[in-house]
């Protein structure tokens, strides 16, 4: 995608505007981990020199899902749990665009879990970044699908009695072809992972550990700093799926961040006969002389 953008800039003979901060200021709580995520996404897209008009950021509902408002790219604020199907539709309508879906653990792994699995199964060529804070922040602190067993929240005053969902293991089992975990306390490292995800051809998932400083007093920045370690420093081979499984299941005193797994496989766009002819947005409507039927909708 970066090469395509460079070719586009060369053809028009002028530098197109790159993605930057929008005029809308973030409304997150001071210290929220999501500030690190929006900075990392901006850094990654700027590094790849993708013009803002070629980037679409889609979100669901939640604190994290406000992210498209804060960057100067096309954005779509979808309903709760539905960021991925909207992003897939945009991608298939015009797969010359760089499509990035963003959201939170409640949005993506709760009501949106079915979409999460099937987008990976299809290997849609897009990037999905989740801001995982182990709690529902927007609705003031209920337990989320990734809240730890025993965690006391507004909805579980006696402690969570359900096992937390493991996003990394679920993504690996469902067919993600680029699988990474980042930490908001290391924005540069996260930007590297997001840039790699955008460049990857296939479904790329980046789970960002993004502490909620208001409603989650357990999984704090300090809590993560004492536990996270970088896979690249540990000699991890991201082409080894069995090793990726081992790392995906690791959570506790040590929590790995970095690139877990990467593999090249045909994408949905590669295999779909219609999309092989080019972006739908650039194809004729195929009404065979009945184009006037569209007049009432234009």
pLDDT digits (tens, 9 = 90+) for 120-135: 999 999 999 999 999 9
Write down the pLDDT at residue 2.
40
**Residue 134 region by backbone torsions, left for phi larger than 0, else alpha for psi between -120 and 50, else beta:** left
Nearest of 224, 211, 212 to residue 251 by alpha carbon = 224
Which runs of consecutive H residues, i.e. helices, occur in 97-220?
105-106, 113-122, 167-174, 187-199
Write down the pLDDT at residue 130.
97
pLDDT digits (tens, 9 = 90+) for 12-49: 444 578 888 999 999 999 999 999 999 999 999 999 99
More confident residue, 293 or 51: 51
> How many residues are listed for the chain in this entry?
298
Q: Which residue has the tokens 């937390």?
A: 164
Cβ atoms 61, 80 nearer than 8 A: yes
Domains of the chain are 2-8+28-297 (3.40.50.970)
Distance CA 47, CA 87 (A): 22
Q: How far is CA 34 from CA 31, 54, 130, 240, in A?
A: 8, 23, 10, 31
On average, the pLDDT of the chain sits at 91
Which runs of consecutive H residues, i.e. helices, occur in 154-277?
167-174, 187-199, 221-225, 241-248, 268-271
Q: Which residues of 87-100 are buried (b: 16+ CB within 10 A; e: fewer)?
A: bbebbbeebebbbb
Write down the pLDDT at residue 134.
95
Write down the pLDDT at residue 3.
44
């Amino acid at each position: 995608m970066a090469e395509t953008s460079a070719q586009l800039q060369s053809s028009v003979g002028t530098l197109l505007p790159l993605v930057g901060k929008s005029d809308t200021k973030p409304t997150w709580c001071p210290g929220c981990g999501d500030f690190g995520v929006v900075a990392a996404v901006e850094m990654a897209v700027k590094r790849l020199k993708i013009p803002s008009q070629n980037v679409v950021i889609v979100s669901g509902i939640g604190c994290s899902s406000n992210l498209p408002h804060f960057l100067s790219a096309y954005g779509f604020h979808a309903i709760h749990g539905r960021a991925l199907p909207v992003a897939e539709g945009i991608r298939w309508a015009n797969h010359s665009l760089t499509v990035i879906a963003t959201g939170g653990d409640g949005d993506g792994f709760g009501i949106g879990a079915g979409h999460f699995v099937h987008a990976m199964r299809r290997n849609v060529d897009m990037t999905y970044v989740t801001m995982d804070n182990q709690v529902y922040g927007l609705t003031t602190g209920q337990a989320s699908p990734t809240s730890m067993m025993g965690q006391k929240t507004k909805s579980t005053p006696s402690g969570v009695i359900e096992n937390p969902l493991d996003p990394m293991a679920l993504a690996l089992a469902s067919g993600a072809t680029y699988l990474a975990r980042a930490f908001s306390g290391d924005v540069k490292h996260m930007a590297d992972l997001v840039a790699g995800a955008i460049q990857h051809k296939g479904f790329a998932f980046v789970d960002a550990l993004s502490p909620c400083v208001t409603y989650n007093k357990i999984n704090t920045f300090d809590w993560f700093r004492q536990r996270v370690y970088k896979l690249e420093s540990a000699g991890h081979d991201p082409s080894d799926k069995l090793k990726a499984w081992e790392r995906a299941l690791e959570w506790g005193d040590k929590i790995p961040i970095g690139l877990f797994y990467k593999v090249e496989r045909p994408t949905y766009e590669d295999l779909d006969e219609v999309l092989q002819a080019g972006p739908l947005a650039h194809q004729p409507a195929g009404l065979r002389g009945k184009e006037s039927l569209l007049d009432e909708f234009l």
